[in-house]
Structure 1
Amino acid sequence: MFRKNKMHIMLALLTIGWLCIEPGQRLAYSKDRAQPAPDFVLTDIHGDTLRLSDFKGKVVLIDFWATWCPFCRSSIPILKSLYDEYKDKGLVIIGIALEYDQGQTLKRFAKEKQISYPLAVGTERLAAEYSAYGVPARFLINRQGEIVENFIGFREKGIFESAIKQLLQRCGNV
């Protein structure tokens, strides 16, 4: 119980700290300065190994989120739509939930919301490696495994879609 409360308090403090930063300072990554995406190995909600490096050659959108976050929940239909529309063209979406439980809540939530893209429970360390100091935080990774854009907070579908299409078009997949 203490660990669960500790994680919620930590996430709340990180979110408050993030909100106090000027918008221009929040962006750790930009299109002009692509940086290698930190690799990770997680276990998804079905018990399978989820490794970022397995998706090299694909466009990947990593979504740091939480089931208790209203903006994250509002984004689910957008991400589902993008995944359904572009998965056959080379897009992978990976949902990394910052949750205390080891997947049971997440598994029920995914079933209830009919989420078909991979989901796993992340760690504080992984979130810090990506500079994801609040949720939702999304990172767009090109086919070479580099972070080319990040999206902090709620975004409309068109914002994601424009960036995704641009990366997919570089290989003629759109």
Structure 2
Amino acid sequence: MFTSRFLVSALALAAGFVFAIGSAAAESKATVGKPAPDFTLTDVNGKKVKLSDFKGKTVVLEWFNPQCPFVKYAHGEGPLKDASKKPGAGNADVVWLAINSGAAGKQGNGVELNKQARADWKMDYPVLIDDSGKVGRMYDAKTTPHMYVVDAKGTLVYRGALDSAPLGRAKGGVVNYVQAALDDLAAGRPVATAETQSYGCGVKY
């Protein structure tokens, strides 16, 4: 009897422990409408950057690979050229962070390569190195670029494509989803389009 009760209790505790682990794992995954998971990464200049340090500001996250044609277009002549300096997007309350989640040795990875790309494109925001892929998987980043917007309260309010025109090609009018999300936040409105399908090169985990 004692053995049976002990076994039942042990199984119940184990089940609870597994559930707790599963819940913690689920909570650490980025979900639109929920608090954005915190992270700390190092930029190409060796400086540590922590997402939660920007609480009170809107944060734009851009998954980045300087050798991806979609990233090259977006920064060279497309919508990410000077994006962080545009009205609304370039005010003191909006922070931009690029993240490269490519594994060591994969195409587009390497501190010097990313540092050079940042200089070539005159990016005025950090490029963070996530070569373990931990942060990319936490946010389920699938493409470069893959865009995220975190509001001043730390809530993830947008995830998806940069715009509706891959490589500048679109049917009908072009919608810049990131700019639209920033405009909604600046006006005190809920983000009208909170999630879209991203496009670009696959993240090289």
Normalising by the residue count of structure 2, what TM-score does the alignment of the two structures yield? Answer: 0.61
Measured at CA, do residues 91 and 153 of structure 1 come closer, stay the same or move farther in structure 2, by a change above 3 Å? Answer: closer
Number of positions where the alignment pairs a residue of Structure 1 with one of Structure 2: 141
Equivalent residue number for residue 43 of structure 1: 42
Shift of the alpha carbon at 1:145? Answer: 0.8
For 1:142 and 1:57, the matched residues in 2 are separated by 8
Work out whether residues 81 and 121 of structure 2, in 8 Å CA contact, stay in contact via their aligned partners in 1.
no
Equivalent residue number for residue 113 of structure 1: 121
- The 5 Å alignment of 1:148-167 reads 148-152=157-161, 155=164, 158-167=176-185
Shift of the alpha carbon at 1:114? Answer: 1.0
Shift of the alpha carbon at 1:155? Answer: 4.3
**2:90 paired with 1:81:** no
Shift of the alpha carbon at 1:81? Answer: 2.5
Work out whether residues 163 and 176 of structure 2, in 8 Å CA contact, stay in contact via their aligned partners in 1.
no
Work out whether residues 97 and 126 of structure 2, in 8 Å CA contact, stay in contact via their aligned partners in 1.
yes
Moved more, 39-48 or 85-94: 85-94
Work out whether residues 60 and 96 of structure 2, in 8 Å CA contact, stay in contact via their aligned partners in 1.
yes
For 1:108 and 1:115, the matched residues in 2 are separated by 10
For 1:140 and 1:61, the matched residues in 2 are separated by 5
Q: Which runs of 5+ in 2 are unaligned?
A: 1-29, 166-174, 190-205
SS at match of 1:162: helix
Equivalent residue number for residue 203 of structure 2: none
Shift of the alpha carbon at 1:88? Answer: 2.2
Work out whether residues 64 and 95 of structure 1, in 8 Å CA contact, stay in contact via their aligned partners in 2.
yes
For 1:142 and 1:106, the matched residues in 2 are separated by 27
**2:94 paired with 1:91:** yes
Match for 2:139 among 130, 140, 144? 130
Q: Which runs of 5+ in 1 are unaligned?
A: 1-27
SS at match of 1:78: coil
Q: Deviations over 1:74-119 (max 9, x none)?
A: 2225234321123324111100013334411100111111111111
Read off the aligned partner of 2:184 and give its amino acid letter: Q
Moved more, 74-83 or 36-45: 74-83
Measured at CA, do residues 78 and 155 of structure 1 come closer, stay the same or move farther in structure 2, by a change above 3 Å? Answer: same
Aligned-residue RMSD, C-alpha: 2.2
Q: Deviations over 1:115-160 (max 9, x none)?
A: 1111111231111100112322111111111111112366457322
Measured at CA, do residues 106 and 58 of structure 1 come closer, stay the same or move farther in structure 2, by a change above 3 Å? Answer: same
Normalising by the residue count of structure 1, what TM-score does the alignment of the two structures yield? Answer: 0.71
Equivalent residue number for residue 56 of structure 1: 55
